[in-house]
Amino acid sequence: MTRVLAAGDHFVAPRLFDTALRGEPGLPGDLDVTHLTAGWPTEPFGPVGTGDSRVEEASGTEDDLVAALDGVRVCLTQMAPFTARVFDASPALEMVAVCRGGPVNVDLAAADRAGVAVTQAPGRNAAAAAEYAVGMALAALRRIPLAAAELREGRWRGDFYDYDEAGLELDGATVGLVGYGAIGRIVARVLRAFGATVLVADPYTDRATAETDGVRLVELDELLRASSVVSLHARLSDETRGMIGARELDLMPDGAVLVNTARGGLLDHAPLPEALRSGRLGGLALDVFDVEPPPEDWPLRDAPNVVATPHLAGATRQTAHRAAAIAAGEAGRFLRGEAVCHPANETARNAQGVAS
């Protein structure tokens, strides 16, 4: 019997994994798929495990996962906590297909030690996150949430038509994108359709790609000085953590709008209240935070020029189905004895699957 665990949650549900996997051709006839459901997003994700056996942005418990993995050879998941302890306790496990762009809920070194192949799902939420980032920029530039809230309270804010209070357009604006992966490239395409000039700061993007896409590759400081809107799309790492702080905010034009739908850790949040009060920032749009959810005393909770949403950029049904399909495709390739397309660790890069 070929046992597979669909370890989903309330977004990428186990049934989505199950249906997508059963649509793969050439799978073993003795396939047995069991389900496990973690609490996310009803329960926030976070670190799971202790000491050296710890992973980030995970949902569920090590004990529940170990119990569900008994005899399982392949697992499809989004948030399950694959710590060193879980790998040590799951000797039958040979492959984990993670339906995220970065499998931060998996200890990749422990997976390699255990000989378990791990794959990922780059671009699964690129369209959703890109659309959301542009929507957040528009919301902040035109103060759409504030105007809607005021109207609901019975206040007709005709003063927003005053010249000094009026919003700004994307057409003709210079927009800077910090990070230019799958999401950033879609954002750039949409912004150019609006008529914006797009600058990009990304050390991993080559000039030829930027020129082909119709954007201009520049250093971060030049981007900040020139952009009336700055949108963050970098992956969080030791290199990028806190990359936009007080110095960088001071480089931006007065009244500029800052958008972060990537990761809260990219921003140093401490100088943001003063930047907003002083007018250095004309608007701030956040879908991610340094602490999620923000505490009750979050200083920006009532700021009128802040648009804040609870980490929803990737929350579309299409993203859930796409994520499940990418993970199922990787699991299918592995079970057929084929090389996987999106390896996340050395074992997956070297694997030829488990077909006999």
Quick check: is 355 in a domain? no
- CA-CA distance, 98 to 353, in Å (whole number)? 16
Residue whose C-alpha is closest to residue 77's, from 2, 1, 11, 26: 11
Q: Report the chain's terminal Cα–Cα distance, integer Å.
A: 13
CB 306 within 8 A of CB 283: yes
Helix (H) or strand (E) holding 86: helix 84-88
Q: Are residues 257 and 345 in the same domain?
A: no
Q: What is the pTM of this model?
A: 0.87
On whether both 161 and 253 belong to a single domain, the answer is yes
pLDDT value of residue 355: 52
Total domains in the chain come to 2
Is position 11 within any domain?
yes
- Whether residue 320 sits in one domain with residue 191: no
Which residues does the annotation mark as catalytic?
Answer: 263, 292, 311
Residues 197 and 292 in one domain: yes
- Residue 356, in any domain of the structure: no
Q: How far apart are CA 107 and CA 126, in angstroms?
A: 24
Going residue by residue through the chain, which has 356 residues, state the pLDDT in tens, using 9 for 90 and above. Answer: 899 999 999 999 999 999 999 999 999 889 999 999 999 998 989 999 988 889 989 999 999 999 999 999 999 999 999 999 999 999 999 999 999 988 999 999 999 999 999 999 998 999 999 999 999 999 999 999 999 999 999 999 998 888 888 889 999 999 999 999 999 999 999 999 999 999 999 999 999 999 999 999 999 999 999 999 999 999 888 999 999 999 999 999 999 999 999 999 999 999 999 999 998 899 999 999 998 889 999 999 888 899 999 999 999 999 999 999 999 999 999 999 999 999 999 999 998 655 54
φ, ψ of residue 348 in degrees (nearest 5): -70, -35
Q: Give me the residue label for tokens 């059963």.
A: 22
Residue 269's closest CA among 235, 237, 306, 221? 306
Proportion of the chain in helix, strand, coil states, percent, rounded to 5: 35, 20, 45
In a shared domain, residues 131 and 267 = yes
Residue 109 belongs to some domain of the structure? yes
**Which is nearest to 56 in space by CA: 19, 100, 26?**
100
Give the domain-ending residue among 308, 324, 339.
Answer: 308
Same-domain pairing of 51 and 76: yes
Are both 237 and 89 inside the same structural domain? no
Paired with 36 in beta bridges are: 7
Domain that holds residue 50: 2-124+316-350
282 is a domain residue: yes
Q: Per-residue b/e over 176-189, b at no fewer than 16 CB within 10 Å?
A: bbbbbbbbbbbbbe
Are 87 and 236 within one domain?
no
Q: Which of 321, 322, 323, 344 is nearest to 334 (CA)?
A: 344
Task: Assess whether 55 and 18 both reside in one domain.
Answer: yes
Q: In this structure, is residue 186 part of a structural domain?
A: yes
Q: What CATH number corresponds to the domain at position 227?
A: 3.40.50.720
Residue pair 307/286 in contact (Cβ under 8 Å)? The answer is yes
Whole-number Å distance between alpha carbons of 339 and 260: 36
Same domain (yes/no): 110, 140: no
Residues 280 and 136 both lie in one domain:
yes
Is residue 271 a part of any domain in this protein? yes
- In this structure, the answer to whether residues 164 and 287 fall within a common structural domain is yes
Three-state DSSP state, 33 = strand
* Residue 91 one-letter amino acid: P
H or E element, residue 164: none
State the pLDDT at residue 81: 98
The token duo for 13 is: 């549900």
Residue 169 within any structural domain of the chain:
yes
